[in-house]
Amino acid sequence: MLLIISVAGSWSRASGSLKSIWSTLYPESSREPVEQNCAGCAQNRVTSHYDPILTEWRVEYVKQQILKKLRLSKPPEVSLSLSTLPKPLINGHVLQLRPGTPLAPEKQVESFYGKTDQIVIFPKQEINDLMNCRQNSNHLAAFNPAACFTFNLPNEMKFVDVTSAELWFYKELDENDVFNQTFVLSELDHWDQGGSFQKNTIIAIFESTVGEGWVKTDVSFTARNWVENHKLNHAIQIACSSCSIDRDTVPISLEQTLKPFLVIHTSPLPQKNRSKRNSNCLPAMKECCRDQLYINFKEIGWNDWILHPSGYHAYFCRGSCSSVASITMSATPYNNVLTRWLTMMGNATEMKNKIVPCCSPTQLSPIQLLYVDSNNTITQKTLPNMMVEACGCM
């Protein structure tokens, strides 16, 4: 849940205000009793939503929610330089859900923690140590330029279902590019435990029209077999059967920012249209509404480990729920009951103040994060209940 704060009294009493905010954020850590004469939402004294202190605490609350949903106690210490990552990763082009495609709003029952959607894996060796290989036991790639890469899957892959997988590599120019180039993708293994007899299994044969640029090929079937058989270490060979045989190496870039990588998708997301939202706040609006709150990961110092997005709109709820009109606008299951009850109470102000609801989120949606953990593994997770979609009186 995102933070909604209703505080009675003047904000000039800074120390008291901060204690009240902290108590609202983390009630389990507050040892001071709440004032008994504070009617909270019933008083309907809405503090300035533009107050910088209040905004700071809202942002801090969102930060804590992100860490908890990622099962982290603090931001990870990343040794991987983000400037050396391939551009498709930095630009978010490998995300399973493309920018602009809405996520489905949350169901009532939703796991608190983030769900892994995809994992990005780089070759095990340092780029300078990747050996160029030619394998002559496979007649489809015999004596053709080839390169070999070893990928180690993380242990968490044992507990997920692979929905799809792609291998990305950057193709360099070749003198035979006037025609489509044919690539042969194989897995290198051994028939025996001692490693004396080599076994090569063809994964894919495909043509590429790319002269120079990123190429991706589907390896879903192979990745599923890896996970189902609980085998996490694999050597992959990429050979070009149509490239110039005068080359010593396959025309695949081994530069740091253009290195190959494997993308494994582990959980599909339903892509549904957003349900209709209630009113967004206007400057003079006093009724319950949804207001702006943007979390900028660069401004909070998290852009060194969160790759995508650069930020997101969290929103928050503010406004009064004292009038019949405000409750009528709310899409809550019991708004009709409250409306009729308030109408019947008439001028019984004291009784109405005791039961007037608070302006709260009525619908939340998840966000997706592509981030680097302390093991330099790039993971995409879906964090539930991180964006307010609609507000109402509850």
Domain limits, the chain: 14-85+278-393, 123-259
Whose CA is closest to 62, among 1, 7, 113? 1
How many whole angstroms separate alpha carbon 81 and alpha carbon 129?
Answer: 18
The answer to whether residue 17 scores a pLDDT higher than 90 is no
Residue 202: the pLDDT is 87
What kind of fold does domain 14-85+278-393 have according to CATH?
A: Cystine Knot Cytokines, subunit B (2.10.90)
Residue 206: the pLDDT is 84
| Cα angle 47-290-53, degrees, rounded to a multiple of 5 | 35
Strand boundaries in the chain, DSSP class E: 115-121, 146-152, 164-171, 181-190, 198-208, 213-218, 233-240, 261-265, 289-291, 294-296, 306-308, 311-313, 316-318, 359-372, 378-393
Prior bond to 309 cis, omega within 30? yes
Whose CA is closest to 233, among 130, 150, 169? 150
Confidence bin at 249 (pLDDT 50/70/90): low
Question: Tokens 């991180």 identify what position?
Answer: 386
This prediction's pTM? 0.57
Express as a percent the part of the chain with pLDDT over 90.
Answer: 14
The answer to whether residue 363 scores a pLDDT higher than 50 is yes
* Mean pLDDT along residues 51-55: 83
Burial 174-195 (b: 16+ CB within 10 A, else e): bebbeeebbbbbbbbeeeeeee
How many whole angstroms separate alpha carbon 370 and alpha carbon 367?
Answer: 10
Whose CA is closest to 323, among 314, 332, 335, 312? 335
- Dihedral sign from CA coordinates of 381, 382, 384, 388: positive
CATH for the 123-259 domain, from 2.10.25, 2.60.40, 2.60.120, 1.20.120: 2.60.120
Residue 311: the pLDDT is 93
Confidence bin at 343 (pLDDT 50/70/90): low
User: Torsion over CA of 298, 302, 308 and 314, rounded to 10 degrees?
Assistant: -80
Contact between residue 380 and residue 358 where contact means Cβ atoms under 8 Å apart? no
Residue 276: the pLDDT is 44
| Segment 154-193, tens digit of pLDDT | 887 777 788 889 999 998 877 777 778 888 888 887 555 5
Contact between residue 170 and residue 213 where contact means Cβ atoms under 8 Å apart? yes
The answer to whether residue 226 scores a pLDDT higher than 80 is yes
Partners of 393 in the beta sheet?
359
| Segment 277-317, tens digit of pLDDT | 456 888 777 888 899 999 999 999 999 999 888 999 999 99
Residue 85: the pLDDT is 80
Whose CA is closest to 95, among 375, 384, 387, 369? 369
Q: How many residues belong to the chain?
A: 394
